[in-house]
Amino acid sequence: MPRTSASSNWDDDSRITRGSRRSRWDDSGPQHRRTPRLVEEPDGPPEGSRWSTWDDIGIPHGPEPHPDWVVTALGAVDYELGVLKTGKEADVHLVERSVPGTDIGTLMAAKRYRGSEHRMFHRDAGYVEGRRVRESRMNRAMAKRTDFGRELLAGQWAVAEFNVLGMMWQAGAPVPYPVQLDGTEILLEFIGDPDGTAAPRLAQFRGTDEELHDLWDQCVDVMCLLAAAGYAHGDLSAYNLLVHNGRLVVIDVPQAIDIVANPRGPDFLRRDAENVCKWFSGRGVPADAADLTVRLLDEARMLRPGGDTALLN
């Protein structure tokens, strides 16, 4: 099986109403390559690969209908093609899922959360307000960051990100399609080129003023969409927004905030607004954090009569 070297510019780090599954960000759909015909492996997949886990018992799948490029065939093989990025909480790998003996295949990003041997989400106390598991023993373990608690947190963050991505996708937000969840691993739509080169971060964007203003409009649109659905990204910045073929794509959403259940929800909305406005305004775009915050609170139906923002104080 030929291998492709992964190249990446990525960085770390059910109230949504069902409607049109995609929106304006869908103008240029993802391109996924087809693999060359492969030789059957009678004794199992080649070294460094694995059988597809799509049909394994208990594996949650992304929203239906699944995109045409998702490979669901029995006997498909997942090939490891390299590391896209490493981070404090998770690593992202490039994986190709293809059917031996055919030209059917697609590239995916495999996000794998780390377990108890690594520090998990140093700021997660604020993010998880409003989230609880049923057993008090588990809550205590997570609060104390025991090995068991960190394992629970890894699984909780993976589940949270998978679910939020599914909801955002169904709402028409520009996010990678969540293919499946297997423990602490999420398989996602790969945002990048057919040769395995990942889309660059917004922080690395070099383009015209017109392109920059269009990306700002896209950013405001997706933030308003999330706020109207009752969510804030929680850690939005130019480092977890990708730019691919003129399309802004939101990534890294495990800490997405339920701004109603979380008492600090409005503060997270404001912080997201401040982060993106600082970046865009520094490049000549008239982006005002206070104005955007008011707009987001209005979309979330959290403004007091007369546009009072005292809720943030």
Cα separation, 34 vs 291, whole angstroms: 46
| ∠ CA 35-41-46, rounded to 5° | 70
Bond prior to 45 in cis (omega within 30° of 0):
no
Catalytic hit among 11, 124, 252, 258 = 252
Catalytic hit among 78, 235, 258, 272 = 235
The question of whether 235 is a catalytic residue gets the answer: yes
Beta carbons within 10 angstroms of residue 313's beta carbon: 5
Cα separation, 22 vs 191, whole angstroms: 16
Sign of CA dihedral 150, 152, 154, 160: negative
Give the phi and the psi of residue 205 in degrees, each rounded to 5: -65, 130
Beta carbons within 10 angstroms of residue 213's beta carbon: 16
The question of whether 195 is a catalytic residue gets the answer: no
Surface-to-core class of residue 244, CB atoms within 10 Å of its CB (0-12 exposed, 13-18 middle, 19+ buried)? middle
Q: Are 93 and 112 in contact (CB under 8 A)?
A: yes
Instruction: Provide the residue type at 286 as one letter.
Output: P
Cα separation, 232 vs 296, whole angstroms: 9
Beta carbons within 10 angstroms of residue 282's beta carbon: 10
Of the CA atoms within 13 Å of residue 113, those in its CB half-sphere come to 27
Residues with catalytic function: 235, 252
